[in-house]
Every structure is written in structure tokens, then in C-alpha cells.
Amino acid sequence: MSINCLVYAECKDGKLRRVALEALGAARQLAADSGAVHALLAGADSTALAEAAAELASRGAAVVHIADDAALRDGAPEAVQAAIAAAIAAARPDAVLLGHTALGREVAPRVAAAIGAGHAADVTAIVTTGDGGDVVFARPLYAGKAVERLRIAPGAPMVISVRPNNLPPAETLPAGAAPGAVSALAYSAPTLWTTVRSVVRKTTGAVDLAEADIIVSGGRGVRSSDGFAPLQELASLLGGAVGASRGACDAGYCDYALQIGQTGKVVTPQLYIACGISGAIQHLAGMSGSRVIVAVNKDPDAPIFGVADYGVVGDLFDIVPLLTGEFRRILGAS
Amino acid sequence: MNIVVLVKQTFDTEEKIIVQGGTVSQDGVKLIVNPYDEYALEEALRLREKHGGTVTAITCGNEQSTEALRTALAMGADEAIRLEIEPGDDSASLAAAIAAVVQPLKPDLLLAGLFAVDTGSGSVALQVAERLGLPHASAVVKLEVNGSTLIADRDVEGDTATVEVPLPALVTAQQGLNEPRYPSLPGIMKAKRKPLRVVSRIELGPDAAAPATQRLSVETVPPRAAGKRLGGGTPAELAAQLAKLLHEEAKVL
């Protein structure tokens, strides 16, 4: 069985998001040898779109459809949804894939309802048997305390939103292979419901938590909003993001947007450094999928040590700045 | 204003998950109103206090989920509807059923949580909006209604976008939207006399769609084992030891 796929390749600030390449990788897996892989880019910056299209075409998208329209500038979900609908009409896919990002989370369900598809949301693994068998999607339940395996009902179209940082990105085609074609999509903007009045960037230059490779996270132990400063310094040095526990958010030390846990965000970075976080079950659910976990806490009995690969009993205000210094030395030397 | 709030009963977030015979065990588990739905409910009550109107809470669930509706009524919702759940329901079949129940209510505003802390898809409410042809604003942290328009601050991966959307519309609630009230004792007493209707799926007729996904299995994730505990040194020694291990052993730099 081969599955024809359409990938909505999301861009941020004109650049392809990594999760778009992960969705493309998943599409190539589903399409196997005989399915078609199409990709869709939607935006209003022709130069950036052309660059992104070249990258998608070099990584296995047979056709890259470009919707280039002023209506797509602000990321109004209905404008993006209309672009996906136009690309579905052009590509006639069995499966639509996209990242489970802020935009993907609001668009995927609507696309699924519009085309009568099954929606597999926040997918972390895909298993194809390759001999005409089912495609099985794995996704977390209870923020990762359990895993559900599901399939799409036979004959139903699929909408698959993939969790960032979990699936391998599509690889570049071997040397000599012909890249895919790029094609302008016939797009007419729908009546726009959403007027975007303003966007306040609080995360300028910072990495999105869901896509971050390294997260430095603070709990009640940071004691104040200023207490996040050493964590921010370490995160900046490592090119990572700052997160927080519910305790720190409830105490008003930081914005709820930083919260990691069953309420809040679920993250799966390469390295998670928990500073002054005790490790309530609902927090552990949100970060236990990290590859390497470090815990720094004054309380030797804190439950966070039960999941940490490396635990340091000590005061985060002593340890974290010293750790930053050590990393600066290591990174400078290498 | 006629406001409809979608509510789901979920496990308390501090509960451990136990899988027995291929399903998640409900034995002795503390059940709560999904925290994100509580924000939605609280916002509905505040809007009604300001603009007048009614708040209807809808859940899709078994007999036990009536408790979640009683909580909603005790917090101040005017009426509640429990839609029966069927084995094998998924986001598509639930959304179809909920849309069929919501449509005749003709709400000015549909409110729901950003996602439920159990299944975590965040899919049902948006599928309902699509079926009803409603615009939406998702992950909302601040909401105002101004005549026939809503103005919302949305959390977009840490940034804040302020959007305007015409009513009727769906709004999904993100953490930070408000601080939900606790039901008062008089509220709990009054809730017992408020209308709570049960709708069977058969009543909905041909509008109800079949599930489009099928769950094959559920497994718990084995807990992580604790690793190395570094100790017995000065903070500087501990930091140096940790940095070396992360660099050379864990190779995360």
C-alpha cells in the first residue's frame, strides 16, 4: 500500500521550521516507493518561499505548491486552511501531514472535519509494515504517562499532526537525484474572519520550547522572576530555551507560556536541566521523554532525582552559574 | 449573550496511570473538570456577569461525568447537557455529535479548553467549529466581547497575538486566561435544582458521524530509572564534574 501525501510545510519568519522537515520525512515514509509526496508552502514573501521550496524539493517533495498571497502574511488560520484545501484539490492526497505547532494545532482539526478525515494528533512515532498492512501511529496520553497506538479507519483520509523533535527529518536526496518541481498554486483568499491587530514578540531570538534541543527549567526554587536570570544565561549559552514548572508559574515568577507539564507544554529535548524543581507527577509527565535529564535541587529527597540521569544536590544559585562557566570553557576549547 | 461551554471530565493530573487488560484503570482515580475547560467555564461566567445571557455546559461522557456538569452548575452555569458516549468514539464522531447538540442552541460564543489533559489532541472543539462554520481564536489568555466582535490575546508559542474575530465564534482557553472560582455552598445547593438534560446518540440521527480513527492499544510508559547522583564536593567541583559528564559521557553538547 502506498499513500499519497501532502505536507503543509510551516515557515516561521520566512524560514522552514524543522518540524516541517520532520513532517516531510513522515510523508516519505508513508508514501514508500510508489506514493506521491507533495508539499505546500503558504506565505507572502516570494523570495523566502522560493528558498524554502528549493529545500523541500531537494529533500524529496516531488511537487512543491506555493500559495503566495497577502492574505497569508499574518498567519490567519482560515487563510492557511484555504491554502491547504486548494493544495488538496490539486494533489488529491490520502494523507495531510503537518507539525503539531500552535498553527498546526488549530488548522489540523478543521482540515480533518472539512474532508471527513481521521485526525491523529501529536504523533510521536509511525510504524508502517510495508506489506499492505496498517499504518500505526503512536501518540502520548496523559502528557506521556501512557502511549496510545491508533490507526485511521480503512478508507478514511488522514490528517496527521506530528510532534516536533520526535520524527527524523527528511534527508537530502542522493547526489544526482532530480529535485522535485515547484508549482504556483491557484489560491484565492477566503473571506478573512481573523484580523491580527498586533503581535508582541516575547521570545525574540529565543528558541521555541517545543522545538528546543536544550531546556533549562526553573521551579519554586528560583524564588523570584529575577531568579531566572542565571537559567536564562545558561540557556542562551547553549542555544536553548527556558522553561518552568507549574510551581514557578503559579508563584508568578514567570509567564504561563513557559510551563512544562501535563498542564502546559510537553517537551522532548536532548538535554533538560531542572533547577529547583521538586518533580510533581504532572511536571514529570511533561519532560520525562527528554533524552538526558539533569536535576539540581537542595532537597536530596526531591522526586525529580528519581528520573534524573545526573543529579546534583546543591543550591541552584551556586551550581548553575558555575556550570555556565564550565560549559563556556568547554565550548570555547572545542 | 448565549454561551455554550464544552467540558470534559478528566483524571486529576497528579494521578498515576495504570493500564489493566488493555484499558486505563479508573479504580479509585480522582476525577476533575479538565483544567483548561475550567478556564473556559470561568470566562463564560464572567462574560455573562458583564453582558447578561445564559451559560450552558455540555459534556460527552458516561453517567459519572454528570459530576463534572454538577461542578459547572455549582460554579454558576445555568443549564447542562450530557451527551452519551459510545464505545470507539474519536474526535470526529464526538465533534459530529456535539455539533448536532450545539447547533439548535445558536450560541453567540462557544468556549472550550485548549486541550484535555488526558487525550491531549485539542481536536474536538475545532472540529465542532468547522462543522458549524464558526471562526475561532485559540489559546486565548485574554478575552473581551465588544458588540458583535471578540478581541482576544492569544498565546502563540510564547508570543502574544491580539486578534479580532466576529461572533458567533469558538474560543479555546489557555492557562492564564483567569483564575477559576470554587463552587460556593449555595451554588452547590442551587446546582441540584438546575436543569440537566441527557441526550442519547440515537436522538441525533443521521448527523452523527462514525469514528474515523481506531485505538489499537494503550500502554504505560516505563518509568525512567534514576542515574548518577553527584555529591561530596564543593559547588565548583560538582559543576565541573557535571559539565564533564554531559560533554564526554552523555554527549549532549
CATH-assigned architecture of domain B2-207: 3-Layer(aba) Sandwich (3.40)
Query: Are the C-beta atoms of residues A305 and B225 closer than 8 Å to each other?
Result: no
Q: Is residue A180 a part of any domain in this protein? A: yes
**Chain B: residue nearest A108 by CA?**
B123
- The domain boundary, picked from A149, A184, A219, lies at A184
pLDDT of residue A2: 82
Judge: B226–A307 Cβ closer than 8 Å, yes or no: yes
Q: How far is B134 from chain A (nearest CA, A)?
A: 9
Query: In a mutagenesis test of the A interface, which of B6, B9, B12, B13 is the best target, namely the one with the most A β-carbons within 10 Å?
Result: B13
Spatial distance between the Cα atoms of A119 and A141, rounded to a whole number of angstroms: 15
Kindly give the residue spans of alpha helices, DSSP state H, lying in B141-223.
185-191, 201-204
Of A106, A294, A319, the CB nearest to B136: A106
Spatial distance between the Cα atoms of B40 and A261, rounded to a whole number of angstroms: 19
Cβ of residue B129 closer than 8 Å to a chain A Cβ = yes
The pLDDT-based confidence of A307 (bands split at 50, 70, 90) is: very high
Query: In a mutagenesis test of the A interface, which of B19, B140, B224 is the best target, namely the one with the most A β-carbons within 10 Å?
Result: B224
Question: Could you tell me if A82 and A34 lie in one domain?
Answer: yes
pLDDT of residue A133: 63
Please, what's the b/e burial string for A79-101 (b: 16 or more CB within 10 A of its CB; e: otherwise)? bbbbbbbbbbebbebbbbbbbbb
- pLDDT above 80 (res A157): yes
Query: Are the C-beta atoms of residues A122 and B121 closer than 8 Å to each other?
Result: yes
Sorted by sequence, the CB contacts under 8 Å of residue A297 that are 6+ apart come out as: A221, A274, A275, A276, A277, A278, A304, A305, A311, A312, A313, A314, A316
Question: Could you tell me if A164 and A304 lie in one domain?
Answer: no
Question: Could you tell me if A155 and A80 lie in one domain?
Answer: yes
Which set of grid coordinates corresponds to residue A169?
527529518
Question: Could you tell me if A33 and A178 lie in one domain?
Answer: yes
**Chain B: residue nearest A215 by CA?**
B252
| A289 burial level (CB within 10 Å; 0-12, 13-18, 19+) | buried
Which set of grid coordinates corresponds to residue A36?
506521491
**Chain B: residue nearest A204 by CA?**
B159
> Which range among A132-141, A312-321, B75-84, B239-248 shows the weakest confidence by mean pLDDT?
A132-141
Write out residues 196-235 of B within 8 Å (CB-CB) of A: 209-221, 223-224, 226-231, 235
Q: How far is B241 from chain A (nearest CA, A)?
A: 9
Spatial distance between the Cα atoms of B199 and B94, rounded to a whole number of angstroms: 13
pLDDT of residue B232: 81
Sorted by sequence, the CB contacts under 8 Å of residue B206 that are 6+ apart come out as: none
Domain boundaries, chain B: 2-207, 227-253
Q: What is the pLDDT of residues A234-287, one digit of tens each?
A: 999 999 999 999 999 999 999 888 999 999 999 999 999 999 999 999 999 999
Strand order across the A292-297 sheet: A241-244, A214-218, A271-275, A292-297, A310-313, B228-230
Question: Could you tell me if A156 and A226 lie in one domain?
Answer: no
Sorted by sequence, the CB contacts under 8 Å of residue A265 that are 6+ apart come out as: A209, A210, A243, A259, A286
Sorted by sequence, the CB contacts under 8 Å of residue B43 that are 6+ apart come out as: B111, B143, B171, B173, B177, B178
Question: Could you tell me if A80 and A159 lie in one domain?
Answer: yes
Q: Which residues of B touch A140 (CB under 8 A)?
A: 120
Spatial distance between the Cα atoms of B25 and A43, rounded to a whole number of angstroms: 46
Rounded to 10 degrees, what is the CA torsion of A140, A156, B34, B46? 140
Query: In a mutagenesis test of the A interface, which of B123, B160, B171, B178 is the best target, namely the one with the most A β-carbons within 10 Å?
Result: B123
Q: Is residue A195 a part of any domain in this protein? A: no
Which whole number is the average pLDDT over A112-128? 97
Spatial distance between the Cα atoms of A239 and B87, rounded to a whole number of angstroms: 46
Judge: B216–A322 Cβ closer than 8 Å, yes or no: no
pLDDT of residue A333: 74
Q: What is the pLDDT of residues A18-57, one digit of tens each?
A: 999 999 999 999 999 889 999 999 999 999 999 999 999 9
Sorted by sequence, the CB contacts under 8 Å of residue B201 that are 6+ apart come out as: B83, B84, B86, B97, B208
Query: Are the C-beta atoms of residues A172 and A59 closer than 8 Å to each other?
Result: yes
Q: Is residue A189 a part of any domain in this protein? A: no
Which whole number is the average pLDDT over A99-113? 98
Q: How far is B190 from chain A (nearest CA, A)?
A: 30
- Phi and psi (nearest 5°) for A34? -115, -5
Question: Could you tell me if A149 and A238 lie in one domain?
Answer: no
Judge: B120–A120 Cβ closer than 8 Å, yes or no: no
Q: Is residue A150 a part of any domain in this protein? A: yes
Residues in chain B with pLDDT values less than 50? none
Question: Could you tell me if A32 and A166 lie in one domain?
Answer: yes
Judge: A313–B229 Cβ closer than 8 Å, yes or no: yes
Q: Which residues of A touch B158 (CB under 8 A)?
A: 202-203, 206, 208-209, 255, 257-258
Query: Are the C-beta atoms of residues B116 and B107 closer than 8 Å to each other?
Result: no
Judge: B141–A256 Cβ closer than 8 Å, yes or no: yes
Q: Grid cell 536541566 — which residue?
A: A273
pLDDT of residue B187: 96
CATH number at residue A305: 3.40.50.1220
Q: How far is B46 from chain A (nearest CA, A)?
A: 21
Pairing of β A310-313 and β B2-7: unpaired
Judge: A146–B90 Cβ closer than 8 Å, yes or no: no
Judge: A208–B158 Cβ closer than 8 Å, yes or no: yes
Spatial distance between the Cα atoms of B185 and B190, rounded to a whole number of angstroms: 9
Q: Which residues of B touch A255 (CB under 8 A)?
A: 158, 176
The domain containing residue A280 runs over which residues? 209-333
- Give the single-character DSSP code of A259: B
Higher pLDDT, A211 or A181: A181
Q: Which residues of B touch A249 (CB under 8 A)?
A: 175
Q: What is the pLDDT of residues A195-231, one digit of tens each?
A: 999 999 876 556 788 889 999 999 999 999 999 999 9
Query: Are the C-beta atoms of residues A75 and A195 closer than 8 Å to each other?
Result: no
Sign of CA dihedral B20, B21, B25, B26: negative
Q: How far is A188 from chain B (nearest CA, A)?
A: 18
In A57-162, which ranges are E strands? 63-68, 95-99, 118-123, 125-128, 135-141, 146-152, 158-162
Please, what's the b/e burial string for A296-329 (b: 16 or more CB within 10 A of its CB; e: otherwise)? bbeeeebbbbbbbbbbbbbebbbbbbbbbbbbee
**Chain B: residue nearest A311 by CA?**
B229
- The domain boundary, picked from A151, A184, A217, lies at A184
Task: Tell me which H or E stretch contains A87.
Answer: helix A77-91
Q: How far is B14 from chain A (nearest CA, A)?
A: 5
Please, what's the b/e burial string for B37-71 (b: 16 or more CB within 10 A of its CB; e: otherwise)? bbbbbbbbbebbeeeebebbbbbbbeeebbebbbb
pLDDT of residue B206: 65
pLDDT of residue B204: 83
Q: Is residue A132 a part of any domain in this protein? A: yes
Judge: A203–B236 Cβ closer than 8 Å, yes or no: no
Question: Could you tell me if A84 and A178 lie in one domain?
Answer: yes
Q: Which residues of B touch A79 (CB under 8 A)?
A: none
Question: Could you tell me if A41 and A173 lie in one domain?
Answer: yes
Q: Is residue A202 a part of any domain in this protein? A: no
Spatial distance between the Cα atoms of A49 and A15, rounded to a whole number of angstroms: 8
pLDDT of residue A132: 56
Judge: A153–B159 Cβ closer than 8 Å, yes or no: no
- Give the single-character DSSP code of B29: -
Question: Could you tell me if A136 and A251 lie in one domain?
Answer: no
Q: How far is B38 from chain A (nearest CA, A)?
A: 12
Q: Is residue A56 a part of any domain in this protein? A: yes
**Chain A: residue nearest B35 by CA?**
A263
Three-class secondary structure of residue A184 per DSSP: strand
CATH number at residue A83: 3.40.50.620
Q: Is residue A116 a part of any domain in this protein? A: yes
Residue A232's alpha-carbon distances to A121, A131, A258, in angstroms, are 31, 49, 12
| A47 burial level (CB within 10 Å; 0-12, 13-18, 19+) | exposed
pLDDT of residue B202: 86
Pairing of β B9-11 and β A37-43: unpaired
Q: Give the total number of structural domains in chain A.
A: 2
Q: B168: cis peptide before it, omega within 30°?
A: yes
Which whole number is the average pLDDT over A60-67? 98
Find the radius of gyration of the CA atoms of chain B: 22
Which set of grid coordinates corresponds to residue B28?
479509585
CB count in 10 Å sphere of residue B106:
10
Report the percentage of chain A scoring pLDDT > 70: 97
Question: Could you tell me if A100 and A237 lie in one domain?
Answer: no
